[in-house]
Chain A
Amino acid sequence: MAEKVTFTIDGLTVQSPKGISILEAAKQVGIKIPYYCYHPGLSVVANCRMCLVEIEKIPKLQPSCGTAVAEGMVVRTQSPEALRNRQSVLEFLLINHPLDCPVCDQAGECELQNYYMDHGVYDPRFNENKKKRKKAFPIGPYVILDQERCILCTRCVRFTREISKTGELAVHDRGHLSEIDVFPGVDLNNPYSGNVVDICPVGALTDRDFRFQCRVWFLSSTSSVCPGCSRGCNIEIHVNEHFNPRYHDKRVPRLKPRFNPDVNGYWMCDEGRYSYPAIDAPNRLRAPRLRQGNGWQEVSWQEAIQKTAAALREALEIQGPTGVAVLASPQMSNEELFGLRQLFRDVLDVRNIEYRVPLRDKVYADDFLITADKNPNSRGAEALDLGGNGCEAVLRDCVEEQIRFLYICQHDLTRGFDEDQVVRALSKVQFVAYHGSRENRTAALANVQLPAAVYAEKDGTFTNIQGRVQRIRRAVAPLGQSLPDLEILELLARELGLEVQPGSPGEIFLQLAEQVPAFRGMSYESIGDLGQPMHSFGS
């Protein structure tokens, strides 16, 4: 238990952990002190002077972001002097501001707008010409800077120095001539550059990608986890379901990082942030399809599942469980992997199951967030004990004509093996079922394509590289006729004549938690918004 101090704020007697700032202590008891330069993930500079409060026995207002609470301290956040200061800081910040809110992308999530409601002057007295500065110019692949809107809080500068450690940005010149810019000849192109847009409290740094796509008040938000790598950064999926016909084919216009102190802090990488177009990408599989000679025919789910089940049954009849192999995917959720395991291993007694497919692509990884494993759930697959003798062995079995039915989930094998090798192997298999979300060279070799929903279209959990089980949630409906993986597996099981109890992902998870030791005792409630560590394996 951290040491506590007792102090008074706006007449309320409060106990707070020793050493935290007045601003944070106030937040904890629901007292909001306005601020610009402060950010809990960055160093404290106290330069905006918005958060000044009155402290008894100290003659001058003090910055609540940079002053620690102390025993017996008496703080007033609403004193006339403190209120007048906020009003005045806002006035100073706005005298040279272009007031171009109608064409500003930040409108709706701008702290100048927000605080003005409470602390505005509403009676401007600035009679000079506003300063002209550079407007709307790209400073990197993802970020646009408008110097006129900048309030010089230096959050972006501190981010590039303290978090990305790349230092592309700086305050140039000084005094009233100060402006934010990249150093000459430098681009803001670090792997985490998009975060500066999130932390810019105003419309100075905007997202080149999201700009003018949608007014933010039309967006709804769903908590989820980025599937881009095994870090599993916590995110919000923003959905534009209600409005903007111009944008109807892009249901998800942006992703934002969601604070998780144990995983990603306040941040996420650009690769993950700008991965959202994959959700509505043209290469999504939208309907079940059967191979017809050299082409494909769209069919109903019923027909696709019937064909798949028939082929599976035949393989089992002719050769028994050894004639079947399954390539599960660490892109799938724990629940889905568990469902797959139940069906194939527990019921059909198939032993040839693997989930690891080597990737030959060169991948970027660092010691901050980005990991080399681009799958969100490898640890889950590992905990579910889905590893076999490796994908190479499966392909060898195919070539040796030991496999009559191959069920491939999500993988594109050609990213790990030569295409010739894959073609040769799959051509020796009587029936290849492809259960996945996108077209690729492996899906093209299958006999049936079963279109699966992507992470943003379903509920479930991923286990990240730290062994932390985290929830993904459905933000949009599955595209076209695609279905969440669990439902596909359920259809297949039914078609095989198995008794299946339909269950929600949450219910499946409870079964999983009962059967798999690493998940023992867990539930969606216990996982909550911030996740829960798995028990160490085998315990």
Chain B
Amino acid sequence: MKILTKNMHVPNLREIGVYESLGGYQGLRKSLRDCKPNDIIEIVKKSGLRGRGGAGFPTGVKWGFVPKNTGKPIYLCVNADESEPGTFKDRLVIEKDPHLLLEGTIISAYALDCHLAFIYIRGEFSYGATVLEKAIEEAYSKGYLGKNILGSGYDLDLILHRGAGAYICGEETALLESLEGKRGHPRLKPPFPAVVGLYRCPTVINNVETLANVPHIINNGPEWYAAIGVERNTGTRLYAVSGHVNKPGVYELPMTVTLRELIYDHCGGIRNGRRLKAVIPGGSSVPILTADRVDTRMDYDSVAKAGSMLGSAGVVVMDESTCMVKAVRRITRFYAEESCGQCTQCREGTEWLYQILTRIEHGRGRAGELEILLDLCTQMKGRTICPLSDAAAMPVESYIKSFYDEFAAHITQQRCVILPAA
């Protein structure tokens, strides 16, 4: 079942004419013609669509939090900062089908009574930025953006903003700070952006994939959408699979798919016939799943029940040749580098974790240090301004707990105990 990617094989889909010829912008026409803004919110609520950026918050409910009649403008920000290691699904939409994102953004902005929207795109996505820039230009010239869109009287401007290379700017309030021209520091919450957001005005932040679903929901109706997948986990997801599989890539599947099906049926199984060792199911920040969890269904709730998170659905597959110490050390280095540095435990803790893990990997670990690592993780979780501190701690904690003997052997034998891949 393909929704978002169903047209992606069509050549030149990026061009507005091609997009239109495949039924593009019909959802927008329908919305502006048939729906009041509130109707769209209700439709999206009914569809069961949940955020694809990480937390999985129901999108329609989030839109409902925005106070109307405050006298302040309402903003919509598209989170296209996709930087979580192992995640590369939004990039596909941006580069291959930019008008789908634009159409979803315009409909959502209309639903929110928003007249100025932003796309915050990861700085490194220079190609994607070029594609979006051109698409926005086309949309303006065709009257899908600007004043009096399609004669409806509704106005919307859309601004593309390129980030400057900080992962933390994907966190929604850091994104807002960055958009405002400041350092990308996450804000203290509450107040939440729905009430006090960009320039202190009510603001909604949504992920690229989330918004790309909206035109299809409008076109086909919420009941159709809700029937895909399972309850509370409706629609498809773009699973970005990487690591030791034969066919890495982005796979769009309903959330009824199991990890086993994803790896073995869709991605061609493990490279070189090796055995599966572990899987990161939702981007590098989530707890790892061991091979025995391979029958977990890849929806929000089932992955949570298995002890991890579906997150961004960035699936990283690791085979038996993977050293878990090395893997988590590398992930930890990422978070140590990307911590914004505001909160004490995140700023100091991420680097401390990295230092200890580096020594363990290099055969210089000391007895008792796994317990120190676990305690540091406890101290880092749930106590900071944003969840990056948790994102750094959760992998370390789960890798050690899931592969305790492997970590312990690194310390007692003072070397790596995993044979390098042949």
Q: Which residues of A contact B (CB under 8 A)?
A: 44-50, 52, 59-61, 63, 66, 84-85, 88-89, 91-93, 95-96, 125-128, 151-152, 154, 171, 173-178
Residues of the B chain whose Cβ atoms lie less than 8 Å from the Cβ of A46: 188, 385
User: Does B343 interact with chain A (Cβ within 8 Å)?
Assistant: yes
How far, in angstroms, from A142 to B254 measured CA to CA in the complex? 65
Q: A60-B383, A95-B348, A173-B341 are in contact. List 14 more A-B contacts (CB 8 A).
A: A48-B344, A49-B383, A92-B344, A92-B348, A93-B344, A95-B352, A96-B348, A127-B356, A152-B344, A152-B347, A175-B339, A175-B350, A176-B341, A176-B351
- Given A45-B342, A48-B344, A85-B383: A175 and B188 within 8 A (CB)? no
Decide if the interface of chain A is mainly helix, strand, loop or mixed.
loop
How far, in angstroms, from A128 to B362 measured CA to CA in the complex? 14
- Max chain A C-beta neighbours (<10 A), residue from B188, B347, B384: B347
Q: Are the C-beta atoms of B341 and A61 separated by less than 8 Å? A: no
- Given A47-B342, A47-B385: A63 and B352 within 8 A (CB)? no
29 sampled A-B residue pairs with Cβ under 8 A: A45-B188, A47-B342, A47-B343, A47-B344, A48-B343, A49-B344, A84-B379, A85-B379, A88-B379, A89-B345, A92-B352, A93-B348, A128-B352, A128-B356, A151-B344, A152-B341, A174-B183, A174-B340, A174-B341, A175-B337, A175-B339, A175-B340, A175-B350, A175-B351, A176-B339, A176-B347, A176-B350, A176-B351, A178-B347
Residues of the B chain whose Cβ atoms lie less than 8 Å from the Cβ of A126: 352
* B17 CB, nearest partner CB in chain A, Å: 44
User: Does B412 interact with chain A (Cβ within 8 Å)?
Assistant: no
User: Does B166 interact with chain A (Cβ within 8 Å)?
Assistant: yes
Q: Which residues of B contact A (CB under 8 A)?
A: 166, 168, 183, 188, 336-345, 347-352, 355-356, 359, 366, 369, 372, 379, 382-385
Residue of A with least CB distance to B358: A128
Q: Are the C-beta atoms of A171 and B183 separated by less than 8 Å? A: yes
Q: Are the C-beta atoms of B352 and A49 separated by less than 8 Å? A: no
How far, in angstroms, from A52 to B383 measured CA to CA in the complex? 8
Q: Are the C-beta atoms of A60 and B382 separated by less than 8 Å? A: yes
Q: Are the C-beta atoms of A61 and B382 separated by less than 8 Å? A: yes
- Given A88-B379, A93-B348: A176 and B336 within 8 A (CB)? yes
Residue of A with least CB distance to B352: A95
Residue of A with least CB distance to B389: A49
Residues of the B chain whose Cβ atoms lie less than 8 Å from the Cβ of A59: 382
How far, in angstroms, from A8 to B114 measured CA to CA in the complex? 42
- Given A49-B343, A171-B183: A127 and B188 within 8 A (CB)? no
Residues of the A chain whose Cβ atoms lie less than 8 Å from the Cβ of B347: 92, 152, 175-176, 178
* B372 CB, nearest partner CB in chain A, Å: 6
Q: Are the C-beta atoms of B344 and A175 separated by less than 8 Å? A: no
How far, in angstroms, from A281 to B221 measured CA to CA in the complex? 86
- Given A49-B343, A174-B341: A63 and B351 within 8 A (CB)? no
* A172 CB, nearest partner CB in chain B, Å: 10
How far, in angstroms, from A499 to B267 measured CA to CA in the complex? 109
Residues of the A chain whose Cβ atoms lie less than 8 Å from the Cβ of B348: 92-93, 95-96, 176
Residues of the B chain whose Cβ atoms lie less than 8 Å from the Cβ of A95: 348, 352
Residues of the B chain whose Cβ atoms lie less than 8 Å from the Cβ of A174: 166, 168, 183, 339-341
Q: Are the C-beta atoms of B383 and A127 separated by less than 8 Å? A: no
How far, in angstroms, from A84 to B375 measured CA to CA in the complex? 11
* B157 CB, nearest partner CB in chain A, Å: 30
How far, in angstroms, from A61 to B356 measured CA to CA in the complex? 27
Q: Are the C-beta atoms of B341 and A92 separated by less than 8 Å? A: no
How far, in angstroms, from A48 to B345 measured CA to CA in the complex? 8
Q: Are the C-beta atoms of B188 and A63 separated by less than 8 Å? A: yes
Closest 4 CB pairs of A and B: A176-B351, A178-B341, A92-B348, A88-B379
Residues of the B chain whose Cβ atoms lie less than 8 Å from the Cβ of A152: 341-342, 344, 347
Residues of the B chain whose Cβ atoms lie less than 8 Å from the Cβ of A125: 372
How far, in angstroms, from A50 to B379 measured CA to CA in the complex? 12
Contact of A175 among B338, B355, B366 (CB under 8 A): B338
Q: Are the C-beta atoms of A49 and B336 separated by less than 8 Å? A: no
Q: Are the C-beta atoms of B384 and A92 separated by less than 8 Å? A: no
